[in-house]
């Protein structure tokens, strides 16, 4: 069972826009907002029938707007007609491999999509809090680890650059136009509802359940932060609330992490052990244009918002494995042999 997180009455009847609601984080943010009493509006581009938003039945309880995040007119209409107070901007093309193959669509979604949301928010007097999802990838490849919030943003490859740019654009709107926007830089999210099977956690779990050896695209020694999605959703809500209470936070960036960096091979071994599987992973050593080591220092966020993650890595993996066992038991595995990029929606 998931841990209960007690929320206050802050969110009751707040009008909140969530972009990217069919994605992993977006689905959980929308769920927690709804449970806290918010009036949730979800902007989606395509229908994703097996997303958590749909699977949980939440799609019937929130307002759905279909459209492209890059449409300035659409964004202004959504914010105006639905009288949005808080914006959770989570929509993105989030897969590094897809970004390498399709840089233009990645730049459009991640950069133009961000300025579209911010410009529409600037024109909407009711918007009082905006949380923009950047990434630890925005820092690029650094010699000194962990990343701190004042570490330079120096993305090099398409996905990294798209996040560096979106991050800087948000800074610009906050400081030039006094826009109440803050930036989150998180590590790799994992948890139930991630249908991008080329990501290491869902891909490994699915392989094991299918009796197949899990595939590691890299040499297994790449080091990352992994943040359980429910902790991430709670952190985003805390930050949006704090920004309204303390407007001086506008323009600031916050690293959010459980500060437990781990190599890919170690993560896969933890999943194998938790699932009592004797399978051995296949190491392809084919990764390219990816940062080898990255992890975050989250002292600023933990201190300013008194945040402590509810789940450590082991607890989060147990929750995630159980979710996929239940989910994949209901649907043939063959249904989900879908290229991951199809499921990254705005």
Chain segment 58-88, per-residue pLDDT in tens: 999 999 999 999 999 999 999 999 999 999 9
Give the pTM: 0.91
Strands (E), 118-260: 129-133, 181-186, 188-190, 215-216, 223-224, 226-228, 253-256
Measure the CA–CA gap between 255 and 134, rounded to whole angstroms.
10
Helix (H) or strand (E) holding 65: strand 63-66
- Does 263 or 50 have the greater pLDDT score? 263
> What gap in Å lies between CA 158 and CA 289, rounded to an integer?
9
The three-state secondary structure class of 141 is coil
- Secondary structure class of 221 (helix, strand, coil): coil
Burial bucket for residue 40 (CB in 10 Å: 0-12, 13-18, 19+): buried
- Exposure of 143 in the CB half-sphere (CA atoms within 13 A): 0
Please state, in angstroms and as integers, the Cα–Cα distance from residue 89 to each residue in 111, 183, 269, following that order.
12, 10, 34
pLDDT of residue 94: 87
Q: Are 41 and 62 in contact (CB under 8 A)?
A: yes
Output the CA–CA distances (angstroms, integers) from residue 239 to 109, 167, 222, 277, 301, in the order listed.
24, 16, 30, 39, 9
Q: What is the CA radius of gyration of the chain?
A: 19
CA atoms within 13 A of residue 28's CA, in its CB half-sphere: 21
Are the C-beta atoms of residues 252 and 183 closer than 8 Å to each other?
A: yes
- pLDDT number for residue 101: 93
**Predicted confidence (pLDDT) per residue in 105-140, tens digit:** 999 999 999 999 999 999 999 999 999 999 999 999
Q: Which residue, chain included where needed, has tokens 């007609």?
A: 81
Percent of the chain with pLDDT over 90: 84
Burial class (CB in 10 A: 0-12, 13-18, 19+), 276: exposed
End-to-end Cα, the chain, rounded Å: 29
Q: Is 34 a catalytic residue?
A: no
Joined tokens for residue 321: 């494995």
Query: Which residue among the candidates 147, 159, 190, 295 is catalytic per the annotation?
Result: 159
pLDDT category of residue 48 using cuts at 50, 70 and 90 = confident
């Amino acid at each position: 069972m998931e841990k209960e997180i007690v929320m206050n009455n802050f969110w009751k009847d707040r009008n909140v826009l969530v972009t990217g609601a069919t994605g992993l984080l977006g689905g959980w943010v929308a769920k927690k907002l709804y449970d806290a009493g918010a009036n949730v509006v979800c902007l989606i581009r395509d229908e994703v029938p097996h997303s958590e938003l749909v699977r949980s039945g939440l799609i019937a309880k929130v307002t759905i707007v279909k459209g492209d995040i890059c449409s300035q007119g659409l964004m202004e209409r959504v914010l105006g007609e639905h009288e949005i107070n808080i914006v959770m901007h989570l929509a993105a093309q989030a897969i590094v491999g897809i970004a390498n193959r399709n840089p233009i669509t990645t730049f459009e979604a991640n950069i133009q999509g961000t300025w579209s949301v911010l410009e529409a928010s600037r024109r909407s007097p009711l918007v009082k809090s905006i949380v923009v999802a950047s990434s630890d990838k925005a820092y690029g490849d650094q010699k000194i680890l962990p990343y701190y919030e004042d570490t330079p943003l120096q993305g090099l490859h398409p996905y990294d650059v798209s996040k560096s740019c979106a991050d800087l654009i948000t800074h610009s709107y906050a400081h030039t136009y006094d826009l109440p926007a803050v930036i989150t830089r998180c590590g790799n999210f994992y948890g139930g509802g991630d249908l991008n099977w080329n990501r290491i956690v869902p891909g490994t779990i699915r392989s094991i359940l299918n009796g197949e050896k899990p595939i590691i695209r890299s040499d297994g020694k790449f080091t990352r932060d992994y943040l359980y999605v429910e902790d991430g959703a709670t952190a985003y809500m805390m930050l949006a609330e704090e920004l309204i209470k303390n407007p001086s936070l506008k323009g600031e960036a916050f690293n959010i992490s459980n500060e437990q960096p781990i190599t890919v091979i170690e993560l896969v071994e933890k999943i194998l052990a938790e699932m009592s599987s004797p399978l051995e992973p296949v190491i392809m050593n084919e990764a390219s244009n990816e940062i080898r080591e990255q992890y975050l220092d989250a002292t600023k966020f933990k201190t300013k918002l008194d945040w402590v993650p509810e789940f450590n890595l082991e607890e989060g993996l147990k929750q995630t494995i159980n979710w996929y066992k239940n989910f994949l038991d209901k649907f043939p595995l063959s249904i989900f042999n879908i290229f991951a990029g199809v499921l990254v929606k705005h």
